[in-house]
Structure formats: C-alpha cells, structure tokens
C-alpha cells in the first residue's frame, strides 16, 4: 500500500550554488527565537539533528566526531585544564567531552540563546548525557563577548563552538582580531583557545584561512586541523592557539602518555592515528594559509 | 540575525519528471499506518495540509474549493438526499459539506484507515468543524468495497473521496467497473455517484478519461467537471453519475431555485457561475473523453 | 545498467515558499542577456520550454493553450482586426495565432530583448512556425512603452504578452495606469487591449485583481478570464479591455458565427465551450475583484 | 532586471535519504549510451562535471585531488612502473597522472563505453590535457574483465577507476574476489593494484570495508586511504594492494627520495604531508575494517 518513500526534506544551502538535502520523518522543534531559527529534525540518514538558521549544527550519527575533534586535541595539550569556558555549544556535547578530562573543576558555557539551550536540554539527551546537571557546569545565557570583557576570571581553555562567522549579525564579532585579544587576556599562562573554523574544502577556504591568519596576529602558536563531518557534507576546520609560545599540540609518545594518564584511551573517534590524520594538512590547505587569508577585524568582517 | 528563510520542504512527486514543493514550519504528525504513510504538515503557503503517501490531500487555504466542488454539484442534483455514504474522506470536510443539505438524515463514512481518521479528528478541526460529532454521522473503519458488498442499505448519494486510483494496492479496486456495479446496486432510484477523478491537465488525462469511460458502462448519465486546486498545482477532475437516465446536473433556473431552497446561497466557492466554469469542459478534455479512456476492470487496473 | 532516472531539474520558485520542478534532459540555451537570464530546456514532462529569469514562459505541450487563450477571445470580439501590436511575445506563437485571423494586415511585435527573439527564432520553430517570416510581420527590439509614446500609428488590437508585472525593473512600467492610458490612445475606436495577468489561484490574486482594477480606470469595458497552464502549475489570468463601451467579448450565436466566418473552427484549444469555461469566473475571483485590487501607477507599482 | 539566481540543478542521490545538489548553467552533453546515462554539466560551484548515471565522477575544481590521490601513492610505491592498465577512467585524467612517472612505457585504458570516452575527449580537455594522444597510450573500448581473462600481458600497475561497485549491472563483476584473482595473475612480481573504493564516511562504510576485506583474501599486503572530494561531498576511499608481501606504500625518507627522483615535487595535491593525512585512518574506519566488511564474490555481490 505504501511505497516507503520519504517526501519531506531539510535542504541546507551550503553555498548559493550548492545544497545538501536529507529526508526527515519528524520535526519535534521548529521555532524562531529572538536570535535565530531553530529546528530539531529526525532525519532518516543522520538521526536527530540540530538546525540553526538552516544549517546542521550536529547530528546523532556523527556528533561524536565533531565534538571529540573540537575538544580533545586542544585540551590534551594543556597540562592540567581546570577552568574551561565554552562559547556557544548549546547541545551540551562539548561540555560532555570536556568533563572527561579529570582535572576539570569548572566549566562555564555562555550561549546567547536560552531557547536553544532549553530545547537542547529537552530534546537532545543523547548529546549532553546529563552534562548540564554536572555540579561543575554553569550555563549562562549572555553575550559571550560582553561576558569576557567584564569578567575577571581566567580560563585554561576557551572553546568557540559557533558556526557561521561570516554572515551579518553579532556572531561575526566572535571571530575578529579584537575578540581574540579579549580572549587572550582571559586565558591563563598555558591557556589554549580552540576555534571551530568552517569549511576546509579546497574551493571554500576563505573563512578557515582568515581565522588562521587572524589568530596568528594574536597568539604565538597556532595549529589548524580538519576532519570530515558527514552530516555537514564537508571537511571541517578547527584551529587551536596557545598563549605560551613553547606549547603546541602533542604528538607521538607525549600524546600516547597523556591519553593514558587521563583515561582517554577509549574515545569513539579521537586517538593517535586519528590525530595524525587531522593534523596532517592537505597541500591546498597549507597553500591557502600562506596566501589567501585576510585579517578579520570588528570593522572588517568576512564577507563573500 | 536570522534571515527568515525556510529550509524544510515537502516535495511531492506529481509525476516521475515533475515535483511540487512547499516550505514547511512544522510537522505535527508523521506516521506509518498499516495502510499508508500519513503526515500533517504546517506549510507557509497553504497552511496545514494532510499528506497521504506523499500526496497533498487537502490544504487549509483551499480545501473549501475541493470539498465544495466534490459534494455540491452532485447533491444539489438529487431532489432530496437523505442517506449518504462517503468512501474515504478522512478529513471530515466532505461530511461537513454534506450536512449543509437540509434533507440529510444519515451519513456513513467508510475509511479503511482508523489512524488517519483519528489524527484528522485531532489535528484538522478546521476541516471537520465538529462534523464527526453530528448525531447523523457514523464512521466505520472498514474496507469500503466489502462493506458495500455486504450491506443491504441503499444510499441516495455515494461519494468516492480517495486519491490515487492508479497505483497498486487495494485502492484501485474502488475504481473498477465491477466496483461501480456494486455501487450502482446500492444506490436508490434517483441515486447519484460522485467520484474524485484525478488530474484534468491536458498531458495527464488517462485516469480521468478512464474513470469517465468506465462509469459510462454502468450509469446511463455521466457528467465530468473540473476545478483548479492550488495546493495540488493541478486542474482536478470529478465525475458525477446518475442511476436515473432522466436526471443530470442542474443548471440555470433549476440550479438557482434549488440553491435558494436549501439555503446554500452563501457557500465559499460553489455558486451558479462557478458551476458553469466547472462544467464547461476544455476542448482537450472533451477530445480525450472521446478517444483516450480505457475500461478499468478488477483484472485490468490502470497503469502508466 | 542504467536506471533511467533523471537527475537534472529546473526548479521554479512560484513563491518564496513554493516551487515547481521539472526534470530536464537538455539545455540548448543558457545565457544572460542585457535584460534577463534566458534558458531553453528540454524537459521530460512538458517538452521544450522557454525560461526567462527562472520562470517557464511556455512549453511545447501546452503553449497552444496559453497562446490561443491569450489571442482569440479578444481578437474575435473585434469586427475586423487589421493592425495588431504585440508587446513581448518573443516565442512568436502569439503572432502565429494572430495571423490566423483573415483580416490581419500588419503585426508589429515589440520585444526589448533581441537575444531572446533571436534564440526563439532558432530554437522554437514549433512555436513560431515561420510566423516571423510572414510579410505582414515586423519585429522591433525596443522599449515598448517608448515606442507607443512616440508612434502615431493606431492599432486595432494590442496584446501585452509579458510575465511578471510585479517585480522591479522596467517591466512593471508596462502594467501601470499611465501605460494603459498611453495604450488607450494608440487603439482605434473599436480597439481591444489584451493583457496577460498572472496567477488566478485563490491565494495569489493581488496581481490579477490589481491589473483588473487599474484597467477599469482607463477602459469602459473590462473582462477577466482564466485557464489552467500545466507547465506553470497555475490557473492563469487574462484581461481583455474595450475602448468602445458598447463592445465586449462575444458569446453564444455571435461567437459561433464569428468563428465560422473566420475559419477558426478547428483550433486546438479555443471553441465555444472552452470560452464559457474561461469566462465563467470562480467565486473567489469575483470577490477578489470587488475588494482586493490596488491601483497600479508608475510611482506605486505592485510589490508583495 | 535579472536577479542572478540560478534555477537549474543537478541533484545527486547520495543515498535514498540524502541528496547533493549543484546549480548548473549549461549541459553540453546529455545522452543515454548503451551502458549508462552520461551528462556533462557546467556547474557554478565546481565548474564542468562528468556525470554518469546521475553521479558526479569528477569536477573541474577538484578532479586533481581525486586523480592524484588515485594514482600516485600506488605508483610511487612501485620501483619502476612501466606497463600500466586503467580500468574505466574515461576522463583521461588518470592516464594524465600516470604519464608523469618517467618509467612509464605503455598505458592501456580499457573502458567499456566508447561514447563516454569520445565525449570526454571532446568536452574535457582540461582533464586529459592531450593524454589520449600520447604515443604510449592505447584506449580499448571493451569489457575489462574479459580483456584481462584473455590477455597474456602483465602489468606493473592496474588501476580500477570505476564508481559504484554495489549496484546491479556488469560493474559489480569488477569488484569481486574472482576478479581480483584474475587481476593478480596479470600483475608482475612487484605489481600494484589500486582500487577506487567508495565512501569513507562513518555511516556508509560497507563498500569500502568489503573491498578491503575481499582484497585481503587475494593480496598479501593491502592498504586503505582516503581523501575528501568536495564535488562528491564525501570522504572518499581508495585501496592499494601489493603482489609482493615485502612491499607497501612508502613513507618518510623513502617517499621523499622517490618523489624527488621522479620529478614529482610540484604536484597540485600529493606530497608527503598530504600522504600522511590520507593514510592515517580515522578510528571508525579501522574499526569497520575489523568487523564490517563482507567478502564480495561473483555470486555474492554487495547489496544494500
């Protein structure tokens, strides 16, 4: 009687001339918050997905790739990360991964959009796995830049887990040289900044290379890496920056020992070989870092 | 911050090579019943829509066109329709229109899919407007053909409100010569059969002309008509058949008087000029009725 | 080996929240002219189609419906149409239909876009059928409004065969009260103006009702009509206006005689019953004409 | 006047529930050959693309990634590759890369579909760059398996450059254990087999892991690797197999020296760091190789 086809699709504009579409069988949330459109969809291909302003933020079947890639290479490179700040990260999965590091004492997550956070708590338990209830975790629904300008706290790790630095709106002010200087002032001596950095595809590198170049003007040590996220249909870039010029990402024996020491040998995605793959950059990426990036400033945001 | 675009679409295959897509902001129902896929979506263009097996059945903004066109031309042509049967019609809007005729004493609606009926009751109040609660209305979730074969009741009006006669599955057995003969036996002396008949577009007339031809083998008087349904993006065909060869659709003064007499002068869609537009057939349709239709039988269903 | 599916689609935005898509197997033309994007596609469902700025103008399988509906009801209502002007009409099919009226002595077609006209000549022979080579036909690639302002000629029939009056750009100046006044001055005493008028769907009547209202401020007699165009997936509106208040569209015996007299009894689409269907307006359309239209003026164009 | 939007899209079904769509402005080729549907499209995002049975084979902006990744890691691992066979590879870009290795004396390319090869020659000059005219190159339009069964020649390198091993049709016979045994017999003592191996996304590994497992039953040394192809929107897998159990892919100093020796230090994509990224496998891939693959045999092809 029924042909078992699916007729409802989430269609994501990856670019003016490119779309990625996934069939959906449910849409438990579809709201306009004061800040953005939010949807939670149940897709046939990637399970449940969080969508903000039309873009998949993470999906049930591959969020572990994104969140492990985002959190661990930077945190493992800090000798004892105790105080952590997350900017964005509404799903709670970034916090979930942070809490796996045994030295963590306090995590403050600052996400401007309370409705997003509340709906993620309710509808994405497989993401946060109760992390919001951990006594070490504090969630603030504020403008993260304002918070960082006003606080006197210092953090060992700051993670910027927000997509879309390029488009209009306040988010772009979280990707500028001025913002990175504010961040740098709020990091401890061995502090580490991790920035989700957008597409690493060979024909779409302006954002990644510009974030890389801008961070290099503020931090003495900056490392880029990438991994493939199926639900986003892109190789995705990340950048990790160090306040202390003598620190960098770990590798080889150091990485092995530190993973052992922290009990992180059974992660689903991140291990030594995965690390090597992520931090060995394709040639076009290295070339782009040398020539393509532009300095992002408050009065000179990225625009295509 | 938000660009107010919409990213989720219901995409309906009108044909292997043609699709109609509408943006949606919600999906309160998405289930697989024992008989079909059912969804209720909230579209930006046509309001709420009922979707069965991927096809829009009716939409909030134009269901009145479909249901008034389906019900009134046939019912107004019967002198005093008292006992009515509806095959399908899960939304309850066909029953709603039927109840506007003052002579109606009993309406039995036979829809095979109880889950569809229950969800329509709950989620489509603007369609049924309480019609299911009217004491004259009886809803049976049964195979309509079997019911008609077994009942000894006779009806003044039988309305076949089911889409998709062409494809596999039991629905096609409600569009065959054998079925129409069963129906004819269950109609009273002045009985009227109304059949929703599919596309009336010039390049897609096989279904409409075959239903027309098949009905002509069973009934002495058969009239076709059509109207445009925006949410289906098609000119849509209907066929009304009369047991009594001396009866046919009304027109002119007769129609005027009868609408007055029954208090049907303030319908949203149907009136004398609308009637004239629907029953004046485009030339390609008249030509197709003369040459294209094939006889539909239990062992020779329509296939493209 | 091959599954005979089709993977390339023309997707037409009917509205921000609605799309109509057709599978294509070829794209013989795809250019940007100084005025618009032009494509000629070979679709699986509607044969060859002319596309301007993303919108199907007419298709091989139903252009006869559009062009016969556009030309004949207005021309048959003029006692002896000799001098005709077409604004737009690049395909040449409007001219083809005009030339079927035996009194026609001269047709001037004014289309601003020479590249469109040249490509239509080359790629749409089934549309123009050589009409461009008829000695009675003159093609001018000019701004039609300017031409009408400057010419001293008078025409029996003027046909505005341009889609999209609503959007920015010069086309909207061909749908204003001021333009219709210019046109009125260039029509003979029994002159007739025919205007393609956009969607006649119940949820999309602003354009049609506004053209209707605006024409009523200039002409003493204005009649609207509609027909369904499958390749556009819409009921489509037309408006015919008369300089002489005692003239109007023909019907009944008059229409019968005039079609006979001009040898127009074997058209593919237009005949007396088709005429009746087109000119009997659905109730929502009559209601919209009474209340929805706004006056379109040069400084007050239509905008959604 | 024109809004510079694009309305024609190539939509590729990546999976029943997932699509990748790219806007196109031209379609110079669209044919049905005896073996498959072939199209060449001009996309806005990836330039010209070759499409077979609806799937992008390679695109102008990233074919160098695909073809360098396919050819060089395997060829550089052979001490002196002289006789090469390519199965498929219609675009000619695989041959183009092969010819960069200075020892190459003869390349035979066997592609079953002559129409594809001829159209690639004509429309994809940026791919083959004249490689088809190189006196060392021989093109045969034959069934590759039959050719390998019948020839007595031996090859140093055989490259299987065909997508879609999974679906029905003869292609699947080029991905079975029996076929790999035939290939193994036609390789020289230090011979290398390179197989394009499909998706390396974490939720779509059945094909890659099955090819890997099947090759391991025939060859003593098998290495998998991957790279991201933007126009395919996927991490893409490759497998390289060695007849001689003491041989494997190069790395470190060996790779450095060999690239120098062959003058391959200025490739667009492939170099030592790129190599490291490709051959360091993500954890989910290593796990899948251990547990998911099934043995592919002539009478047990892959099916989803």
| Predicted pLDDT of residue D172 | 82
| Predicted pLDDT of residue C163 | 76
Taking the CA of residue B41 and the nearest CA in chain C, the distance in Å comes to 14
Q: Tens digits of per-residue pLDDT, D251-284?
A: 999 999 999 999 999 999 999 999 999 999 999 9
Q: What is the mean pLDDT of chain A?
A: 94
The catalytic position among D62, D113, D156, D161 is: D161
Is residue B31 scored above 60 in pLDDT?
yes
Name which of D22, D200, D282 is nearest A274 (Cβ-Cβ): D282
Tokens 């060995």 sit on residue:
A280
Q: How confident is the model at residue D165 (pLDDT cuts 50, 70, 90)?
A: low
Is there a contact between B37 and B113 (Cβ–Cβ < 8 Å)? no
Name which of D9, D230, D271 is nearest A202 (Cβ-Cβ): D230
Is there a contact between D282 and A271 (Cβ–Cβ < 8 Å)? no
- Which has the closest alpha carbon to B50: B85, B93, B84? B93
Q: How far apart are the C-alpha atoms of D44 and D50, rounded to whole Å?
A: 14
Q: Identify the closest residue of chain D to C53 by CA–CA distance.
A: D2
Q: How far apart are the C-alpha atoms of A277 and A274, rounded to whole Å?
A: 5
Does the distance separating the beta carbons of A8 and B41 come in below 8 Å? yes
Positions of A annotated as catalytic residues are 161
Does the distance separating the beta carbons of A16 and D20 come in below 8 Å? no
Tell me the mean pLDDT in the region B59-64. 98
Q: Which residues of chain C fall short of a pLDDT of 50? A: 1-3
Is there a contact between C65 and B202 (Cβ–Cβ < 8 Å)? yes
Q: How far apart are the C-alpha atoms of A218 and A150, rounded to whole Å?
A: 20
Instruction: Kindly state whether B297 is in contact with chain A, defined as any CB-CB distance less than 8 angstroms.
Output: no
| Chain B to chain C Cβ contacts (< 8 Å) | 142
List the domains of chain C with CATH numbers.
Answer: 9-57 (2.30.140.10), 63-291 (3.40.50.150)
Tell me the mean pLDDT in the region B51-74. 97
Chain D residues within 8 A of C54 when measuring between CB atoms = 3, 5, 7
Q: Tens digits of per-residue pLDDT, B194-231?
A: 999 999 999 999 999 999 999 999 999 999 999 999 99
Tell me the mean pLDDT in the region B164-187. 85
Tokens 């394709």 sit on residue:
A282
Instruction: Kindly state whether A9 is in contact with chain B, defined as any CB-CB distance less than 8 angstroms.
Output: yes
In the 8-state DSSP scheme, what is residue A244?
S
Is there a contact between C164 and C133 (Cβ–Cβ < 8 Å)? no
Taking the CA of residue C105 and the nearest CA in chain D, the distance in Å comes to 34
- Which has the closest alpha carbon to D145: D120, D107, D117, D176? D176
CA A64 to chain centre: 12
Chain A residues within 8 A of B2 when measuring between CB atoms = 32, 35-37, 53
Residue of B45, B62, B237, B264 for testing the chain C interface, max C β-carbons within 10 Å = B45
Is residue B303 scored above 90 in pLDDT?
no
Q: How confident is the model at residue D4 (pLDDT cuts 50, 70, 90)?
A: low
Q: How far apart are the C-alpha atoms of B105 and B93, rounded to whole Å?
A: 17
Tokens of C184: 């009125």
Q: How far apart are the C-alpha atoms of B60 and B66, rounded to whole Å?
A: 11
Does the distance separating the beta carbons of C1 and D8 come in below 8 Å? no
Q: Tens digits of per-residue pLDDT, C156-179?
A: 999 999 976 655 566 888 999 999
The catalytic position among C62, C113, C156, C161 is: C161
Is residue A24 scored above 80 in pLDDT?
yes
Does the distance separating the beta carbons of C283 and B270 come in below 8 Å? yes
Question: How many Cβ atoms sit within 10 Å of the Cβ of residue B61?
Answer: 18
Q: How confident is the model at residue B192 (pLDDT cuts 50, 70, 90)?
A: very high
| Predicted pLDDT of residue B122 | 98
- Which has the closest alpha carbon to A289: A229, A224, A235, A236? A224
Instruction: Kindly report the backbone phi and psi dihedral angles of residue B61, in degrees, each rounded to the nearest multiple of 5, phi listed first.
Output: -85, -15
Q: How far apart are the C-alpha atoms of B132 and D147, rounded to whole Å?
A: 71
Q: How far is CA A28 from CA A12, A129, B202, C279, in A?
A: 18, 19, 40, 46
| Predicted pLDDT of residue D7 | 86
Consult the annotation and say whether A170 binds a ligand.
Answer: yes
Is there a contact between D163 and D55 (Cβ–Cβ < 8 Å)? yes
Chain B residues within 8 A of A1 when measuring between CB atoms = 34-36, 53, 168-171
Q: Tens digits of per-residue pLDDT, D47-100?
A: 999 999 999 999 999 999 999 999 999 999 999 999 999 999 989 999 999 999
Q: How far apart are the C-alpha atoms of C124 and C118, rounded to whole Å?
A: 10
Task: List, as residue ranges, the binding site of C for spermidine.
Answer: 67, 91
| Predicted pLDDT of residue C170 | 62
Name which of D2, D7, D12 is nearest C7 (Cβ-Cβ): D12
Chains C and D are in contact, defined as 3 or more C-beta pairs closer than 8 angstroms = yes
Q: Tens digits of per-residue pLDDT, A212-254?
A: 999 999 999 999 999 999 999 999 999 999 999 999 999 999 9
| Predicted pLDDT of residue D304 | 57
| Predicted pLDDT of residue C169 | 61
Chains A and C are in contact, defined as 3 or more C-beta pairs closer than 8 angstroms = no
Taking the CA of residue B251 and the nearest CA in chain C, the distance in Å comes to 13
Consult the annotation and say whether A298 binds a ligand.
Answer: no
Tokens of C80: 């002896």
Q: Identify the closest residue of chain C to B199 by CA–CA distance.
A: C230
Is there a contact between B33 and B39 (Cβ–Cβ < 8 Å)? no
| DSSP secondary structure, D152-173, as one string | ---EEEEEEE----SSSSGGGG
Residue A12's DSSP bridge partners are A20
The catalytic position among B3, B53, B161, B204 is: B161
Tokens of D5: 């939007």
Consult the annotation and say whether B181 binds a ligand.
Answer: no
Name which of D18, D45, D228 is nearest A18 (Cβ-Cβ): D45
Chain D residues within 8 A of C50 when measuring between CB atoms = none
| Predicted pLDDT of residue C172 | 81
| Predicted pLDDT of residue C171 | 80
Is residue D141 scored above 70 in pLDDT?
yes
Q: How confident is the model at residue D2 (pLDDT cuts 50, 70, 90)?
A: very low
In the 8-state DSSP scheme, what is residue A133?
G
Q: How far apart are the C-alpha atoms of C73 and C281, rounded to whole Å?
A: 15
| Predicted pLDDT of residue A71 | 98
Chain C residues within 8 A of D5 when measuring between CB atoms = 37, 54
| Predicted pLDDT of residue A301 | 86
Does the distance separating the beta carbons of C170 and D5 come in below 8 Å? no
- Which has the closest alpha carbon to A62: D209, D290, D16, D203? D203
In the 8-state DSSP scheme, what is residue D17?
T
Known catalytic residue at B103: no
Name which of C13, C51, C170 is nearest D1 (Cβ-Cβ): C170
Helix, strand, coil percentages (3-state) for chain C, rounded to 5, are 35, 30, 35
Chain C residues within 8 A of B18 when measuring between CB atoms = 20-23, 45
- H or E segment at B255? helix B252-261
Residue of B3, B7, B23, B49 for testing the chain A interface, max A β-carbons within 10 Å = B7
Angle at D18 between CA D12 and CA D19, to 5 degrees: 25
Cβ-in-10-Å burial (0-12, 13-18, 19+) of B173 comes to middle
Instruction: Kindly state whether A43 is in contact with chain B, defined as any CB-CB distance less than 8 angstroms.
Output: no
In the 8-state DSSP scheme, what is residue C297?
B
Q: Identify the closest residue of chain D to C169 by CA–CA distance.
A: D1
Name which of B17, B270, B286 is nearest C45 (Cβ-Cβ): B17
* Residue B167 vs residue C90, higher pLDDT: C90
Q: How far apart are the C-alpha atoms of C55 and C51, rounded to whole Å?
A: 5
Q: How far apart are the C-alpha atoms of D104 and D83, rounded to whole Å?
A: 6
Is residue A1 scored above 70 in pLDDT?
no
**Pairing assessment for the beta strands D37-43 and D83-88 based on DSSP bridges:** unpaired
Name which of B15, B17, B280 is nearest C273 (Cβ-Cβ): B280
Does the distance separating the beta carbons of A18 and D23 come in below 8 Å? yes
| Predicted pLDDT of residue A170 | 62
Consult the annotation and say whether B254 binds a ligand.
Answer: no
Tokens 């037409």 sit on residue:
C12
Taking the CA of residue C51 and the nearest CA in chain D, the distance in Å comes to 10
Q: How confident is the model at residue A147 (pLDDT cuts 50, 70, 90)?
A: very high
Name which of C3, C7, C169 is nearest D1 (Cβ-Cβ): C169
Does the distance separating the beta carbons of A35 and B1 come in below 8 Å? yes
Q: How far apart are the C-alpha atoms of C158 and C300, rounded to whole Å?
A: 24
Residue of B278, B282, B284 for testing the chain C interface, max C β-carbons within 10 Å = B282
Cβ-in-10-Å burial (0-12, 13-18, 19+) of A301 comes to middle
| Predicted pLDDT of residue A67 | 98
Q: Tens digits of per-residue pLDDT, B256-265?
A: 999 999 999 9
Q: What is the mean pLDDT of chain B?
A: 94
- Which has the closest alpha carbon to A251: A279, A285, A227? A279
Residue of C12, C21, C276 for testing the chain B interface, max B β-carbons within 10 Å = C21
Tell me the mean pLDDT in the region B99-112. 97
Note the pTM of the prediction, 2 decimals.
0.93
Does the distance separating the beta carbons of D36 and C169 come in below 8 Å? no
Task: List, as residue ranges, the binding site of C for S-methyl-5'-thioadenosine.
Answer: 36, 111, 143-144, 170
Instruction: Kindly state whether A2 is in contact with chain B, defined as any CB-CB distance less than 8 angstroms.
Output: yes
Tell me the mean pLDDT in the region B166-177. 77
Tell me the mean pLDDT in the region A123-137. 97
Q: Identify the closest residue of chain D to A284 by CA–CA distance.
A: D269
Is residue D166 scored above 90 in pLDDT?
no
Taking the CA of residue D148 and the nearest CA in chain A, the distance in Å comes to 35
């Amino acid at each position: 009687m029924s042909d078992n086809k699916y007729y409802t699709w989430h269609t994501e504009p990856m670019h003016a001339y490119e779309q990625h579409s996934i069939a959906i069988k449910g849409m438990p949330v579809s709201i306009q918050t004061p800040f953005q459109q939010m949807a939670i969809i149940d897709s046939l291909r990637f399970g449940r997905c969080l969508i903000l302003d039309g873009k998949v933020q993470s999906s049930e079947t591959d969020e572990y790739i994104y969140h492990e890639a985002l959190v661990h290479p930077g945190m493992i490179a800090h000798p004892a990360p105790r105080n952590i700040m997350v900017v964005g990260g509404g799903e709670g999965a970034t916090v979930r991964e942070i809490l796996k590091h045994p030295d963590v004492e306090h995590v403050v997550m600052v996400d401007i959009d309370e409705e997003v956070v509340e709906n993620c708590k309710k509808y994405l338990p497989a993401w946060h796995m109760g992390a919001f209830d951990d006594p070490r975790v504090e969630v603030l629904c504020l403008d993260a830049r304002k918070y960082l300008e006003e606080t006197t706290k210092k953090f060992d790790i700051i993670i910027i887990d927000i997509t879309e630095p390029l488009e209009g709106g306040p988010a772009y002010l979280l990707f500028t040289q001025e913002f990175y200087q504010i961040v740098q002032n709020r990091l401890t001596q061995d502090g580490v900044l991790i920035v989700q950095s957008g597409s690493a595809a060979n024909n779409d590198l302006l954002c990644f290379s510009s974030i890389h170049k801008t961070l290099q003007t503020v931090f003495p040590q900056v490392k880029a890496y990438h991994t493939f996220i199926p639900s986003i249909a892109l190789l995705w870039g990340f950048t990790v920056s160090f306040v202390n010029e003598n620190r960098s990402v770990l590798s080889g024996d150091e990485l092995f020992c530190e993973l052992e020491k922290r009990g992180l040998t059974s992660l689903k995605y991140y291990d030594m070989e995965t690390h090597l793959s992520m931090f060995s950059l394709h040639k076009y990426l290295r070339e782009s870092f040398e020539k393509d990036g532009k300095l992002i400033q408050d009065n000179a945001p990225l625009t295509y």
